[in-house]
Amino acid sequence: MRPTRQRLALGALLFEGEDRHVTAELLHAEAIAVGHHVSLATVYNTLHQFKRAGLLRELAINGSRAYFDTNTSNHNHFFVETGGELYDIPGDAIRVDGLPKPPEGMAVSHIDVVVRLVPKKA
């Protein structure tokens, strides 16, 4: 992957600091806010290039919104339905038993578990 100006700028926003979960729209807004002139299409393309390179994991929530996770380790997530936030659950905090045998020639790479949260009712 060539280190273009846009890739370097977006990579700095994504990877400097702690692990994070972002949507393309959120990353685009952050880039614009700090003065990077980049289109939303470029943000989407860059996120998918980073994913193909193994730098990000993509999580599809509700089938309509994709979140990109800078933590590529095997772990799961809490999803706050009212605010759309994702929080990491350590990989060893959830155990999945009874997986079916994968089809011939295939292997399980990882399992994504999303625990959905809503505020408690009083």
Q: What is the mean pLDDT of each run of 10 residues along the chain (122 residues)?
A: 90 93 96 95 96 94 87 92 90 87 92 90 81
Q: Which amino acid is at 13?
A: L
- For residue 89, being part of any structural domain is answered with no
The domain in which residue 51 lies consists of: 5-69
- For residue 98, being part of any structural domain is answered with no
- For residue 52, being part of any structural domain is answered with yes
In angstroms, the Cα distances linking 79 to 26, 53, 119 are 16, 25, 12
- For residue 110, being part of any structural domain is answered with no
**Whole-prediction pTM value?**
0.85
- For residue 13, being part of any structural domain is answered with yes
The confidence score (pLDDT) of residue 1 equals 80
- For residue 96, being part of any structural domain is answered with no
* Total structural domains within the chain: 1
Helices (H), 1-122: 5-15, 24-33, 40-52
- For residue 31, being part of any structural domain is answered with yes
The confidence score (pLDDT) of residue 37 equals 92
The confidence score (pLDDT) of residue 95 equals 87
The confidence score (pLDDT) of residue 92 equals 83
- For residue 88, being part of any structural domain is answered with no
The confidence score (pLDDT) of residue 86 equals 92
Distance CA(17)–CA(4), nearest Å, equals: 21
CATH of the domain at 34: 1.10.10.10
Q: Which of 109, 107, 50, 118 is nearest to 84 (CA)?
A: 118
